[in-house]
């Protein structure tokens, strides 16, 4: 079986959640993380109402202490102008910084019995009869199963030849210190922007003492997001007093409807599996969910004999991916026709309520797409 029952590569939300459920299920779990925690992660740190609703069912309270701002308002602009604003009675998004959020989640998995080795960068993976071996060039660790939670550029997935199911776009996060009036103007809301020609969108996610501003594209590379963030901040007239971080990071999307996310003894979870919403770029929800599904799949394997991890890919396909299909269709409309869609939202702000209800989890992308596709008469009038 090896030194460990399961080795988890990567201590982001997917790896930490998988480790927690595996350890709570009585398995010997080792988490290998190449960085030292807490570590900066380029991310908007927006926890949608779907995520926080789900977290409250897991028994993990720690995330609440990491919240820096609560969103009850959305402002949608086109190239920084023509803002359409909607408000909600309940919080739509809770804002966190990923260093403290991820560290707290890892701490929770350690309390359940998982062990963490920091500063261990997995460089080689070998799947063998009876288990897996991973190494950093100096030390080799063996285990019965491997959970690859090593993010969008997953080295484990590359080693296993399992990258064909997704393609990589790019997103950039800039953490900006701004003056107090500017900070206060943005707090309590998320600012979203489209129309800068990047097949994606720009955002400002306010935090307790600074603004996280970002731009993401599902189609382009780093140069586009670097230019995108400069254009967006110019359009809004936001000037940073100081830049705390500015980092671009790949963001994956799936290119297959039924991806195979398992091998004989390895499972891909979170970004390593390409599980990011192809419309809004939300990935934390899918990282947490896939981590749990991976843990449940491993816990159900027979103690002896050949394992069969096929149920993992099947469950991801059945439980998470149907929404992605419709999110992609919504993305085609909104990113493909940004000016027209913005004019439609200006005429019918209730569309924003509908989008928000998808974030709340009370409506599906399928319903949103059907609603938008049903607006063809309104769109025709706008085109004329």
Contacts to ligand FAD by CB under 6 A: 9-15, 32-35, 41-46, 121-122, 149-151, 155, 171-173, 214, 216, 249, 251, 270-272, 276, 281-285, 287
Contact 354, 368 (CB under 8 A): yes
Q: 């998004």: which residue's tokens? A: 93
Nearer to ligand FAD, 182 or 289 (CB): 289
Rounded CA-CA distance 370/96 in Å is 32
| Closest approach of ligand FAD to the CB of residue 10, in Å | 3
Token pair of 263, please?
């091998």
DSSP 374: T
DSSP 36: P
* Nearest one of 250, 232, 251 to 240, comparing CA atoms: 232
User: What is the enclosing helix (H) or strand (E) of 54?
Assistant: helix 49-55
| Closest approach of ligand FAD to the CB of residue 251, in Å | 5
Nearer to ligand FAD, 151 or 379 (CB): 151
| Closest approach of ligand FAD to the CB of residue 277, in Å | 8
| Closest approach of ligand FAD to the CB of residue 175, in Å | 11
Q: Which residue is nearest to ligand FAD (CB)?
A: 283
Nearer to ligand FAD, 5 or 150 (CB): 150
DSSP 246-267: EEEEEEEEE--SS---B-SSEE
Nearer to ligand FAD, 12 or 131 (CB): 12
| Closest approach of ligand FAD to the CB of residue 55, in Å | 12
Rounded CA-CA distance 293/162 in Å is 19
| Closest approach of ligand FAD to the CB of residue 150, in Å | 4
Contact 282, 253 (CB under 8 A): no
Nearer to ligand FAD, 91 or 281 (CB): 281
Contact 211, 180 (CB under 8 A): no
Nearer to ligand FAD, 21 or 344 (CB): 21
């Amino acid at each position: 079986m090896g030194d460990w029952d399961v080795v988890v590569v990567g201590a982001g939300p997917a790896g930490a959640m998988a480790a927690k459920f595996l350890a709570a299920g009585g398995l010997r779990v080792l988490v290998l993380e190449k960085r030292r925690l807490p570590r900066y992660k380029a991310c908007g740190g927006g926890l949608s109402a779907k995520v926080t609703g789900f977290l409250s069912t897991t028994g993990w309270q720690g995330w609440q202490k990491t919240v820096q701002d609560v969103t009850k308002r959305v402002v949608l602009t086109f190239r920084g102008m023509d803002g359409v604003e909607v408000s909600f009675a309940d919080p739509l998004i809770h804002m966190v910084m990923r260093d403290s959020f991820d560290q707290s989640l890892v701490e929770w998995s350690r309390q359940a019995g998982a062990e963490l080795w920091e500063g261990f960068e997995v460089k080689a993976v070998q799947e063998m009869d009876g288990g897996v071996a991973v190494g950093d060039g100096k030390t080799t660790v063996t285990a019965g199963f491997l959970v690859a939670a090593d993010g969008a550029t997953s080295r484990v997935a590359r080693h296993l030849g399992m990258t064909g199911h997704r393609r990589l776009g790019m997103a950039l996060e800039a953490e900006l210190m701004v003056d107090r009036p500017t900070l206060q103007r943005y707090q309590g809301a998320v600012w979203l922007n489209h129309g800068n020609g990047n097949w994606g969108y720009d955002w400002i996610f306010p935090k307790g003492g600074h603004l996280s501003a970002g731009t993401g594209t599902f189609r382009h590379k780093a140069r586009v997001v670097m230019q995108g963030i400069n254009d967006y901040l110019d359009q809004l007239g936001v000037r940073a007093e100081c830049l705390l971080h500015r980092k671009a990071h790949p963001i994956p999307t799936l290119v297959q409807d039924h991806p195979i996310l398992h091998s004989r003894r390895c499972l891909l979870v979170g970004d390593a599996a390409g599980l990011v919403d192809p419309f809004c770029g939300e990935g934390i929800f899918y990282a947490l969910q896939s981590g749990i599904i991976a843990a449940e799949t491993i816990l159900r394997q027979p103690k002896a004999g050949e394992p069969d991890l096929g149920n993992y890919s099947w469950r991801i396909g059945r439980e998470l991916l149907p929404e992605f299909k419709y999110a992609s269709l919504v993305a085609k409309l909104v990113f493909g026709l940004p000016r027209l869609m913005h004019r439609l939202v200006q005429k019918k702000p209730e569309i924003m309520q509908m989008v928000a209800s998808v974030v709340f989890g009370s409506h599906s992308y399928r319903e949103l797409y059907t609603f938008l596709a049903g607006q063809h008469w309104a769109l025709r009038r706008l085109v004329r």
